Amino acid sequence: MLTAFARAFQTPDLRKKLLFTLGIVVLFRFGAHIPTPGVSYPNVQECVAEQDTSGLFGLINMFSGGALMQLTIFALGIMPYITASIILQLLVVVIPRLEALKKEGQSGQAKITQYTRYLTVALSVLQATGLVATARSGTLFPGCTADIIPNDSIFAAVVMVICMTAATVLLMWLGELITDRGIGNGMSMLMFVSIAAGFPGALWAIKTGGELADGWIEFGVVIVCGLAIVGLVVFVELAQRRIPVQYAKRMIGRRSYGGTSTYIPLKVNQAGVIPVIFASSLLYIPLLLVQFTDSTAGWADWIRRNFQTMDSPTYLITYFVLIVFFAFFYVAITFNPEEVAENMKKYGGFIPGIRAGRPTVEYLSYVLNRITWPGSLYLGLVALVPAVALIMFNAQGEFPFGGTSVLIIVGVGLETVRQIESQLHQRNYEGFLR
């Protein structure tokens, strides 16, 4: 593998792409440490030292590479674009106009991409305004008395919102540059870097918080468990059910066309990491409502008692059930068996032993439901790993090998390796992975 990696750098155009991607990654991490104008950096550091990152804003802070809690210019990270992409993907199924654009090919996809950019800007303004208001009210760092935004004027708040929004637009542009001129999907790569940046600190926090042999035993157990979890995630992410498809022969003049065999790959985890993000976001809504209303009613106390920490049985059960539900929901709206069956019928394809038309639709739906069950249960179990680590190792929500983080890192890593390997194969070199 190291030899193949060295050969990738020996190829001029591939080396240029890798160095271009690394340059943007360095720029991204540099911007994640530049404070937003109007923020008191020493006071923010004082509050961060007292803050438990497993709280309300833990997920967004992880996606921003820790920039959210630091209130830097890249505090929003790439999350507004990810949210906008998910919203547009869902609206394509609901709005006929967007569905027609999707079927137009490259020109229609370009328009959908443009709509995604506009929605990203709108969400960035909304989220930046909410973040500034939350920071000024003290909700961002509960219990911290330091004044993190000394200037409480409207002009200062507007400047902070503009800076964060412009930084998010810059990240969106940098991500598109990586997609066009670098290696891998740009947005996924920036998200990968944001999550991976928190790994060293999380592992060291587990070591310093351990009690056996100065924490080295806990550190070793976490590393072994992490490698096992990564291996499991890689195995499931690559697992797929291949449905064979046979195309009938057609005679056009004196030539014969068709007659080939292929397959439809249905991944076990067809929904990816989206159900985990949906479930996490939905669970934050009740707690966010309680924090902003500051209610002392019975329902508010029940929400604080059951959803404030990850080790609550109610939280764990609700989280798991929501992930399973959203896995089926997302697969249902992104994979249309009727459309697949119609396309197969149009080009003379059929599944051996299954009649074309309605029987093919029913067979595809049956297989999809069968493989979605283990995929959804796998997502739920992996997402609960941080909660188990919080109970076993007192990881304070910093356990890196679990939940959304490991799913995204493994998924992006596999896709990037595939791209490098395919480009090496084009030049008659050995693959990136032997």
Do the beta carbons of residue 404 and residue 280 sit within 8 Å? yes
Q: How confident is the model at residue 196 (pLDDT cuts 50, 70, 90)?
A: confident
pLDDT digits (tens, 9 = 90+) for 105-115: 788 888 888 99
- Residue 119: what pLDDT? 92
Residues 6+ positions from 247 with CB-CB distance below 8 Å: 258, 259, 260, 261, 262, 347, 348, 349
* Annotated domain spans of the chain: 1-198
Q: How confident is the model at residue 263 (pLDDT cuts 50, 70, 90)?
A: confident
Residue 158 CB coordination number (10 Å): 13
Burial class for 179, CB neighbours closer than 10 Å (0-12, 13-18, 19+): middle
- Residue 335: what pLDDT? 85
Kindly report the backbone phi and psi dihedral angles of residue 252, in degrees, each rounded to the nearest multiple of 5, phi listed first: -120, 105
pLDDT digits (tens, 9 = 90+) for 23-60: 998 998 888 888 888 888 888 887 777 665 555 566 66
- Residue 165: what pLDDT? 93
- Residue 121: what pLDDT? 93
Write down the mean pLDDT value for the chain. 80
**Secondary structure element (H or E) that encloses residue 264, with its range:** strand 261-267
Kindly report the backbone phi and psi dihedral angles of residue 66, in degrees, each rounded to the nearest multiple of 5, phi listed first: 85, 0
Better pLDDT: 387 or 33: 33
Better pLDDT: 38 or 398: 38
CATH architecture of 1-198: Orthogonal Bundle (1.10)
Res. 169: pLDDT tops 90: yes
Q: Per-residue pLDDT averaged across 217-240, rounded?
A: 83
Q: How confident is the model at residue 349 (pLDDT cuts 50, 70, 90)?
A: confident
Q: Per-residue pLDDT averaged across 234-238, rounded?
A: 87
Residue 384: C-alpha distances to residues 251, 381, 401 (Å)? 56, 5, 11
Compute the chain's Rg from CA coordinates: 24
Give the residue among 335, 298, 404 at the shortest CA–CA distance from 59: 404
The whole-angstrom distance between residue 201's C-alpha and the CA centroid of its chain comes to: 20
pTM of the model: 0.79
- Residue 355: what pLDDT? 85
CA pair distance 50, 141, nearest whole angstrom: 8
